Amino acid sequence: MLVVVVVAELMDLVDTSVANLAGPSIRADLGGGPMTLQWVLSAYTAAFALGLITSGRLGDLLGRRRLFLLGMAGFTVASLACGFAPGAGFLIAARVVQGLFGSVMIPQGLALVKIVFPPEHLRKALMPFGPIMGLATVAGPVLAGWLLHLDLFGGEWRSIFPVNVPFGVLADALAWWVLPRHSGEDRTARLDVRGVGLLTAGSALLIVPLIQGRDLGWPAWTYVMIAAGLVAFGLFVVSERRSAHPVIAPSLFRRRSFVVGLVIVGGFYAALSAFVLVLNLLLQSGLGWSPLRTGFALIPWAVGTAVATLLSGAVLAAKLGRANLHAGLAIAIVGLLGLRWSIAHWGAGITGWQLAPALLVTGLGSGLLFVPLFDFVLGDATTEEVGTGAGVLNAAQQFAGALGVAALGTVFFARVGPPSAASYLSAAELVFGLCAGVYVLVLLLVRFLPKHAQQ
């Protein structure tokens, strides 16, 4: 069963990383402006985030095994549809479907692991996830670059999505055989349809104008949509307080660490997603690097991330406490500023070796936060609140990634203007500086989290 769940996690992780690397290739093949690329990347993460809000409750209602099988099958079919998309609109729609099925699949798998393994063995059962995810983080850029280089189905990028299909088919068949048929469902659970509707509406009302506003010259309706999105989020909070079956436990919002933690998670992952997008665009669209060369150039960042993730999860977070988060953010800020200096100093002639030190440092800093961040945000939460809180933080992470691509991607393309190597370098410098600034703000907020993590 661990094999099935790990395969599901890897499909989601690799799909996200390879899509970022393939962004310039997708745009070159399907046409469209910067807005098209932002939609291709944001559609998956936004749909994944919104689906996570309800998938845990749906698992209680409909059965976790059933939903996992449905999610895996849907994700696999949607991956195939992405690979053979005839146009940008079809690809974006397929990415939305892929994200929704992914959000159904992932939480059920982890919930089933907790049910199958007794408490005294659960920690040992979860131990392989860290090294495997770390290895996938390192291998992801190289795998993506290699697949794009092979150009199996034409258009370079089309091979990166169907690669999920054989793994999805085998994992779904194995899941049918090994997953428990009775997995502790709560038939008394109810779904807050009004709360889900307000949350979905608010999210869409924010993302649509942020992505399309710049291309359309920021017409009045974009500002109206943003204001309406904020109103929808406000109504969601009011609805949650009055609901008998809230999507999010209202008591969580009375905990300072959780409220501040949402801002920290949002800022960190928004800046991280924008950094990855802009780096890929700079190297491929701006400097003309091939996807394979770009994938190899990203290895120092991936290695730094993987090493720091393993160290933080195994040793540093327990020994350093909250200082682990301070250290990670400070190191990441140094890395981003170093990257900004590197591209300003060497310009269009920069090499992968010259990028490597700053990318390694940036990866090390970011990796120190990946494992323990949620544990510190939930440090004051009760046992009853932890499950809901973790689900909300996961959704916030995904949604922040979509917002980061939408907002900072818009800033990047606005600075690029008429495409040239110089304009891409200038735009990347701006965004890397903004990402460092966001990390500084997040660093200042970390002091409001508990000193010790929730285990």
Domain boundaries, the chain: 1-178, 193-246, 248-455
Residue 213's pLDDT is what?
Answer: 84
CATH of domain 1-178: 1.20.1250.20
Give residue-wise pLDDT tens across range 121-166: 877 777 777 777 777 777 777 888 888 888 777 777 888 888 889 9
pTM assigned to the model? 0.86
Higher-pLDDT residue of 83, 187: 83
Contacts of 352 (CB under 8 A, 6+ apart): 293, 296, 297
pLDDT at 348 over 90: yes
Residue 183's pLDDT is what?
Answer: 60
The answer to whether the beta carbons of residues 40 and 88 sit under 8 Å apart is yes
The answer to whether the beta carbons of residues 32 and 88 sit under 8 Å apart is yes
Cα separation, 332 vs 149, in Å, equals 30
Q: How does residue 362 score in pLDDT terms, banded at 50, 70 and 90?
A: very high
Q: How does residue 412 score in pLDDT terms, banded at 50, 70 and 90?
A: very high
The answer to whether the beta carbons of residues 433 and 340 sit under 8 Å apart is yes
The answer to whether the beta carbons of residues 98 and 75 sit under 8 Å apart is yes
Q: How does residue 426 score in pLDDT terms, banded at 50, 70 and 90?
A: very high
Q: How does residue 450 score in pLDDT terms, banded at 50, 70 and 90?
A: confident
Would you say the CATH fold of 248-455 matches that of 1-178?
yes
The answer to whether the beta carbons of residues 111 and 64 sit under 8 Å apart is yes
Cα separation, 92 vs 39, in Å, equals 7
Higher-pLDDT residue of 119, 302: 302
Cα separation, 203 vs 197, in Å, equals 10
Residue 187's pLDDT is what?
Answer: 62
Cα separation, 153 vs 145, in Å, equals 15
Cα dihedral 7, 8, 9, 10 sign: positive
The answer to whether the beta carbons of residues 298 and 277 sit under 8 Å apart is no
The answer to whether the beta carbons of residues 266 and 396 sit under 8 Å apart is yes
Residue 455's pLDDT is what?
Answer: 59
Q: How far does Cα 56 stand from its chain's mean position?
A: 18
- Angle between the 193-212 and 34-62 helix axes, to the nearest 10 degrees? 170
Pick the CATH number of 248-455 from 3.10.20.80, 3.40.50.2020, 1.20.1250.20, 3.40.630.30: 1.20.1250.20
Residue 216's pLDDT is what?
Answer: 81
The answer to whether the beta carbons of residues 210 and 407 sit under 8 Å apart is yes
Share of the chain above pLDDT 70, in %: 96
Residue 189's pLDDT is what?
Answer: 62
Residue 358's pLDDT is what?
Answer: 97
